[in-house]
Amino acid sequence: NAGVTQTPKFRILKIGQSMTLQCTQDMNHNYMYWYRQDPGMGLKLIYYSVGAGITDKGEVPNGYNVSRSTTEDFPLRLELAAPSQTSVYFCASSYSQAPNTEAFFGQGTRLTVV
């Protein structure tokens, strides 16, 4: 079972460059999330999606964009990378109907902007 797959695992970007973090899940979950985790801190929600075609901002959306064209995929786009975006990024998915509301996480992407 693949679960939630994120690519790449590591990336170094130069200031001003752009990139897309890929996330795909094979559990037919309707909810998908993007979080960032700064060193020694908790996870902050960037964007989330309740289903294909529907996305909404989380706590820290500035500098990021998302799309959800299919149930499986939820890419996160960084435009004009800045040092403040250096972080570990996690994608997660969950099913909205009880009792199976557990969120499953990808392995994370460590991004450094220099």
DSSP reduced 3-state for 85: helix
**CA–CA dist 16, 3 (Å, integer):** 32
Residues of this chain, 8-27, that bind other proteins according to CB under 8 A: none
The Cα 87–Cα 27 span in angstroms is 26
Site string for other proteins, 61-80 (x = CB under 8 A): --------------------
Q: Contact between 102 and other proteins (CB under 8 A)?
A: yes
Residues 32, 72: Cα–Cα separation, whole Å:
9
By CB under 8 A, how many residues form the interface with other proteins? Answer: 26
Strand arrangement, sheet containing 64-66: 4-7, 19-25, 76-78, 64-66
Nearer to other proteins, 58 or 63 (CB): 58
- Of residues 26 through 55, those in contact with other proteins by CB under 8 A are 31, 33, 35, 40-45, 48, 50
* Among residues 13, 23, 46, 92, the one that binds other proteins under rule CB under 8 A: 92
Q: How far apart are CA 103 and CA 30, in angstroms?
A: 11
Tell me which residues touch other proteins (CB under 8 A): 31, 33, 35, 40-45, 48, 50, 56, 58, 88, 90, 92, 94, 96, 98-99, 101-103, 105, 107-108
